[in-house]
Amino acid sequence: MAQSSVNLAVIVSAPFDENSYVAHLAERSDCLIVDPGFEPEKILDYLSTHKLSPAAILITHGHSDHIAGNAALKEAFPACPIVASRGDAPKLTNPNLNLSAAFGAQLLSPPADVLVSDGDIYSAAGFDLLVREIPGHSSGHVVFIWQANQPAVVFGGDVLFAGSIGRTDFPDGSFEQLSTNIWSKLFTLADDTVVLPGHGPETSVGQEKRSNPYVGRPAGFKG
């Protein structure tokens, strides 16, 4: 992402190659953490090395690979709020809903401290983030859009990937919901908008409009 005023770390966690993000503005020591995964020690090491303190832990959705690091981060930084959508907040504290029970685990996150909904602006660490609800992969999935940056940046979770989309075969998934909301809430953004997904490399709105085989022009998108 080409922007000198923001420092962005992508921290990939096994076993699902899930992307966690640490973002902080130049000349500031507070930061955002997005979707801490199963290897929170990597995030803690990064914070220590760069002398950063998290101002918020942002959760795009409540599946286990995106919340597994919450407990360790809250233990290290008890005052740091966990920010999640109203729709997916119950997943944080329920292993059946966050899908960890299906893998023989009983993963529990601390509960959300702040609940957000579509259209909210959440501000922390110098970032003003627009919240957009995009269900389909998870019923309460949200993305966080930083529009002050040029180009704009979407912390996108498991909505839109480079050449793909999030799975829709979970109990509360829906391809119709996912595709409709991608068209109306992401593909209406500028083509150069950077999408930082929960898995895989970053992409852009324009690239996915042009070539995504599930929701782009090859799939019939007319925009």
DSSP labels, 47-115: HHHTT-EEEEEE-S---HHHHTTHHHHHHH-TTSPEEEETTTHHHHT-TTTTTSGGGT----PPPPSEE
What is the pLDDT tens value at each position of the chain, 223 positions in all? 444 589 999 999 999 999 999 999 998 999 999 999 999 999 999 999 999 999 999 999 999 999 999 999 999 999 999 999 999 999 999 999 999 998 888 999 999 999 999 999 999 999 999 999 999 999 999 999 999 999 999 999 999 999 999 999 999 999 999 999 999 999 999 999 999 999 999 999 999 999 999 999 999 998 8
β pairing state of 160-161 and 153-157: unpaired
* DSSP label of 136: S
Residue 63: CATH number of its domain = 3.60.15.10
Task: State residue 89's pLDDT score.
Answer: 98
Residue 36 lies in a domain: yes
Three-state SS for 46? helix
Task: State residue 4's pLDDT score.
Answer: 53
Task: State residue 2's pLDDT score.
Answer: 46
Residue 54 structural domain: 6-219
Residue 1 lies in a domain: no
Say whether the peptide bond before residue 15 is cis (omega within 30 degrees of 0). yes
Task: State residue 1's pLDDT score.
Answer: 47
Number of domain units in the chain: 1
Residue 24 lies in a domain: yes
How much of the chain is helix, strand and coil, in % rounded to 5?
20, 30, 50
Three-state SS for 131? strand
Task: State residue 223's pLDDT score.
Answer: 84
Task: State residue 86's pLDDT score.
Answer: 97
